[in-house]
Structure 1
Amino acid sequence: MRALIYDPDTAHGVRFGEVDEPQPHPSQALIKVEAASLNFGELAFAARQLRPGDVFGKDAAGTIVQAAADGSGPPQGARVTSFAGTGGWAERRAVDTTNLTVVPPAVDLAAASALPAAGVTALQAVRRLGPVLGRRVLVTGASGGVGRFAVQLAARAGAHVIASVGSPERAEGLQALGAREILAGTAKPAEPVFGVLDNVGGNLLAEGFGALEDGGIALSIGWASREPTIIDFEEERMKGALKRLEPFTVAAPFGPDLAYLIHLLEKGNLDPQIGWRGPWERVDEAIDALLGRRVPGKAVLDLILRDRPATTRPDRPAPSR
């Protein structure tokens, strides 16, 4: 079957190739993939995560063509979205039934494909902060896929969300998603914050940790800056505040969280923020835009609608909360 595989000798490390059909385990469903979304981390750090010839792709949505042999999960013909470490950017994917959820008929599969890695990461990170009702939460890298979901979900949980972006242009649409304050460039929070959801690393993570109030928590979610983080803990001790810094990673099973996100999407309470969409034959264009910080939110590849022209995100109403 046709797939997008890791090849370190190509410009982006991605090329089309023919690979063997996946052979599902008893607890796995086989999906005919119709849409898949790209994530900054899986492209920027592919050399750390993949071997040459491995199939890219954490996020994929489509139709089940073979139900799990053990009877778990949805039946053949069900529309689903799925989250796994690899294998999503292919014509077919085998995935554990605990890591997928059914997509209602009213929900576009492309929108559903944008949810898994970025949406689940944001959801679990907001949950890790604990109660945020009325508390100030800083989201760095707020213009990216995880960041835009984090802004929406933290605002939905009652937080006063402060969105940090690299430039004013990258802030487009964030207030409509729930951000109460926008920080562009090197701007810092004017007051202490309870929580930090950091997608950038480097100096921004250090500054975010320094901005925490007593009892606050900073989560290191991503490393878009690809720069080291240096924290002067002696200086932090002198401030006298007790606070935490944690490396964050998502935890399976992902099915229940995907189901919750799909429910929000179906009800109009979550915007997938698709900033680029086109046929997977134009994957290089999508990667250029994503790594070049020209995509507000998510980039989605259509595997079925091959004649669909590439599009940028249209203006849309804000999700209701």
Structure 2
Amino acid sequence: MRALVVEHGDDGPVRFADVEEPRPAADEVLVDVRHIGLNLGELKYADQWPAGVIHGHDAAGVVVRAAADGSGPAEGARVVLGMAPYAWAERVAVSPAWLAVVPDAVALDDAAALGVAGITALRVLRTRSLLARRVLITGASGGVGHFAVQLASIAGAHVTAAVGGPDRAAGLRELGAGEVVTDLSTVDDRFDLVLDTIGGAHLARMWALLAEGGAIHLVGSASGESTTFEAGSLFAFGAPKTINTFGDVTSPVSGELADLLGLVAAGRLSAQVGLRGAWRDVDDAVRALFAREVHGKVVLDVS
């Protein structure tokens, strides 16, 4: 079968290869993959995986063989995979811990967009009550950002969306952002929670904007820059402020995927797919992601 595997060097980060068919364990289902969801992080840091290994974590498809031990969905079920290993292949053997059944009201290609981005946003925003709280989302036009803006708004937060320029601000107010900003130096609000995908010099500014007892959650470092804090800025009286790393890729995601799918089915959450295409055109999709030309997620049809 065909799969997208990790490729190191100038021809990477992925390439097509013929690989062996998966052999499901007793507690795994076999999924015929119809769509894959691309994330910038897994492509940007592909060199952290061995060359030649099947790459990718997000996909959607149909169960063609149920788990031998009776766990998981039945044959014929439409399912979405999130944070699953080896997902960018024509078929994948996967534990039910990394998938959820897709409701009839949700298109399978939309479901493929949820995975890493949706789960990341949901996990961060569930760290505290957001009702009537002020939340800052950086990189709001990206995959995680689009989900975070919507989910924070659903939870009752007042959302400020930060983007890199006016051309990336389109549609964010409609998703629930109260303000959209392109320059954090113009912001004077104090935020209870910050979901940051940028890092670098912006992180020091976010720290200055954090309210007493507030928390910054780092889910990416798109700037590629270091952060320098002014002398004394990490000392303050009052309830402690925190900066938190994020990288939980071991906890099962089936429940969170089901919650996200329920919101999509109810019309309260949009997948916000910025680029759709065929997986044969993956090189063009990767280029568009690295060039920051995509607002939202990339979903490719497997054929």
| Same topology, TM > 0.5 | yes
| Counterpart residue number, 1:175 | 173
Tell whether the 8 Å contact from 1:84 to 1:95 is kept in structure 2 after alignment: no
Q: What is the rounded CA distance, in whole Å, between the counterparts of 1:203 and 1:189 in structure 2?
A: 15
Tell whether the 8 Å contact from 2:121 to 2:144 is kept in structure 1 after alignment: yes
Normalised TM-score (structure 2)? 0.96
Write the letter of the residue equivalent to 1:88. Answer: A
Q: What is the rounded CA distance, in whole Å, between the counterparts of 1:235 and 1:282 in structure 2?
A: 47
Q: Percent identity?
A: 46
Q: What is the rounded CA distance, in whole Å, between the counterparts of 2:68 and 2:223 in structure 1?
A: 44
Q: Which digits, 9 at most, give the CA deviation of each residue in 1:126-174, with x for residues without a partner?
A: 001x011111100011110001100000111011000000001111110
Q: Which digits, 9 at most, give the CA deviation of each residue in 1:81-120, with x for residues without a partner?
A: 0123431111011111121110122321110000011001
After superposition, residues 109-124 of structure 1 pair within 5 angstroms as 109-124=108-123
Q: What is the rounded CA distance, in whole Å, between the counterparts of 1:264 and 1:168 in structure 2?
A: 29
The farther-off stretch of 177-186 and 263-272 is 177-186
Tell whether the 8 Å contact from 2:188 to 2:209 is kept in structure 1 after alignment: no
After superposition, residues 197-276 of structure 1 pair within 5 angstroms as 197-232=195-230, 234-238=232-236, 242-250=240-248, 252-276=251-275
The 1:16/1:10 distance shift into structure 2, 3 A limit, reads: farther
Write the letter of the residue equivalent to 1:95. Answer: V
Write the letter of the residue equivalent to 2:19. Answer: V
Tell whether the 8 Å contact from 2:185 to 2:205 is kept in structure 1 after alignment: no
After superposition, residues 1-321 of structure 1 pair within 5 angstroms as 1-48=1-48, 50-128=49-127, 130-232=128-230, 234-238=232-236, 242-250=240-248, 252-304=251-303
Q: Which runs of 5+ in 1 are unaligned?
A: 305-321
Q: What is the rounded CA distance, in whole Å, between the counterparts of 1:127 and 1:96 in structure 2?
A: 25
**Structure 2 SS opposite 1:236:** coil
Cα deviation, residue 238, structure 1: 4.9
Cα deviation, residue 299, structure 1: 0.6
The 1:279/1:214 distance shift into structure 2, 3 A limit, reads: same
Q: Which digits, 9 at most, give the CA deviation of each residue in 1:53-83, with x for residues without a partner?
A: 0111110100001111111110011000012
Q: What is the rounded CA distance, in whole Å, between the counterparts of 2:73 and 2:238 in structure 1?
A: 53
Write the letter of the residue equivalent to 1:80. Answer: V
The CA RMSD measured in Å over matched residues stands at 1.5
Write the letter of the residue equivalent to 1:183. Answer: V
Tell whether the 8 Å contact from 1:120 to 1:250 is kept in structure 2 after alignment: no
The 1:111/1:233 distance shift into structure 2, 3 A limit, reads: farther
Q: Which digits, 9 at most, give the CA deviation of each residue in 1:250-298, with x for residues without a partner?
A: 3521000000101111111111000000000110111111111110000
The 1:278/1:214 distance shift into structure 2, 3 A limit, reads: same
Normalised TM-score (structure 1)? 0.90
Write the letter of the residue equivalent to 1:37. Answer: G
Q: What is the rounded CA distance, in whole Å, between the counterparts of 2:31 and 2:64 in structure 1?
A: 6
| Counterpart residue number, 1:309 | none
Q: What is the rounded CA distance, in whole Å, between the counterparts of 1:243 and 1:191 in structure 2?
A: 16
Cα deviation, residue 241, structure 1: 5.9
**Structure 2 SS opposite 1:235:** coil
Write the letter of the residue equivalent to 1:26. Answer: A
Tell whether the 8 Å contact from 1:79 to 1:102 is kept in structure 2 after alignment: yes
Q: What is the rounded CA distance, in whole Å, between the counterparts of 2:186 and 2:79 in structure 1?
A: 41
